[in-house]
Amino acid sequence: MVDLMNGNAANPGSPTDEAAKEAFIPAMRELVRAYQAFAAYSAEHVRKMGLTPPQFDVISTLGNTTGMPLHKLAEKTLITKGTLTGIVDRLEQKGLLQRVVPAANRRSFIAVLTPEGERVFEEVFPAHMAYLKKRFGQLSERELEQTEMVLARLRELF
């Protein structure tokens, strides 16, 4: 058995031992750890504002728009349509979002923030960006550019 976190293999010289020595493993490990740390830091603050991270994502995406169809909202938030339907349902129950059926295409609907949803967006979005800036602000402009470039390159590879 291979322990990827520590690079130990039960069978030295075996294919699994060789695979555990791949040069990209430390980078992969740091990428996962960085994402986990970011997600935990961000989620804690979003929850304190009375939202789940996916609800915040939907509100942030719909903020300052006239709304959007569910398939476009799913693309922009990276939330699957099935999961997104439940999030939209809960935001609708909270009075933050409404489904509007466009006259041009009555088979679909557009998700639109209600006035209360817009108020929540105006409150939580700047507050959360300020919260994240506490960490991202510790990076130089050059470090931010480099990070963005490396992450974009990784995304292209997959």
Q: What is the pLDDT of residues 67-94, one digit of tens each?
A: 999 999 999 998 888 899 999 999 999 9
Q: Which of 43, 44, 50, 31 is nearest to 96 (CA)?
A: 50
What 3-state class would DSSP assign to 74? Answer: helix
Q: What is the pLDDT of residues 44-68, one digit of tens each?
A: 999 999 999 999 999 999 999 999 9
Side chain identity at residue 146, one-letter code: Q
Q: How far is CA 6 from CA 2, 12, 21, in A?
A: 9, 14, 10
Q: How far is CA 117 from CA 21, 73, 84, 89, 93, in A?
A: 50, 16, 17, 14, 11
Q: Is 0.95 topped by the overall pTM?
A: no
